């Protein structure tokens, strides 16, 4: 049983995958993304899973892949934006180094605006974003050991800020 070096949480579009890959390169470790694990295992997109089976079925798949990845992966692990909705997942994250990548609503709309691959933001992204964050902000904060704001920062700058916050040295 191993543990990820760093777990990245935060809303969709905040850059968990991009920053995660950068961090993995800089630290000389592997990168894993639970959304990608689900797509690979199911052989279809996240949007298709939502449409075919609904959100709660997706959440069950997500919970399983997050728990598996937390037990198996020893590099950088990015979680889907809604993974922290699950109470057991939040409890499990208690033993890990978790970085919450945050952004404000304007940055979110800029980055995710009309992205149809994100079923939760397909209609009226600004309002949906606000509602999502009202429901989730405290959960991201609850699991985080460090919070890194991404607004107006490049992925490299965000990665550096995360390394600084965690006091991690490069390989
Ligand atoms: C979701 C975020 C997405 C994906 C799904 C649901 C959410 O992941 O898991 O569309 O509930 O916030 P990303 O955060 O990687 O986009």
Give the pLDDT confidence of 14-45 residue by residue, as tens digits.
Answer: 999 999 999 999 999 999 999 999 999 999 99
For the whole prediction, is pTM greater than 0.75? yes
- Pick 70 or 166 by higher pLDDT: 70
The CA 1 to ligand 1 mean position distance, Å, reads 26
Q: Is the pLDDT of residue 169 over 70?
A: no
Provide the pLDDT for residue 116.
52
Which atom of ligand 1 sits closest to the CA of residue 136?
A: 12
Residue identifier of the C-alpha nearest atom 10 of ligand 1: 118
Pocket of ligand 1 (CB under 6 A): 12, 16, 35, 46, 80-82, 118-120
**Residue whose tokens read 């079923």:** 119
Q: What average pLDDT does range 32-61 have in this prediction?
A: 97
Enumerate long-range contacts of 59-63, CB under 8 Å, 24 or more apart.
59/85, 59/86, 62/34, 62/38, 62/86, 63/88, 63/89
The CA 171 to ligand 1 mean position distance, Å, reads 30
């Amino acid at each position: 049983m191993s543990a990820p070096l760093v777990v990245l949480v935060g809303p969709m579009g905040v850059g968990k995958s991009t920053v995660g890959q950068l961090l993995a390169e800089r630290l000389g470790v592997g990168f894993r993304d639970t959304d990608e694990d689900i797509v690979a295992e199911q052989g279809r997109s996240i949007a298709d899973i939502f449409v075919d089976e609904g959100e709660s079925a997706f959440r069950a798949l997500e919970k399983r892949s997050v728990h598996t990845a937390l037990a198996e992966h020893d590099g950088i692990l990015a979680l889907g934006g809604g993974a922290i909705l699950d109470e057991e997942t939040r409890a499990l994250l208690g033993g890990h180094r978790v970085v919450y990548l945050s952004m404000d609503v304007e940055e979110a709309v800029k980055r995710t605006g009309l992205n149809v691959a994100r079923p939760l933001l397909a209609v009226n992204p600004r309002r949906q974003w606000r509602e999502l964050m009202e429901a989730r902000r405290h959960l991201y904060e609850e699991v985080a050991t460090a919070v890194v704001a991404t607004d107006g920062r490049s992925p490299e700058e965000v990665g550096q800020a995360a390394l600084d916050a965690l006091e991690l040295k490069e390989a």
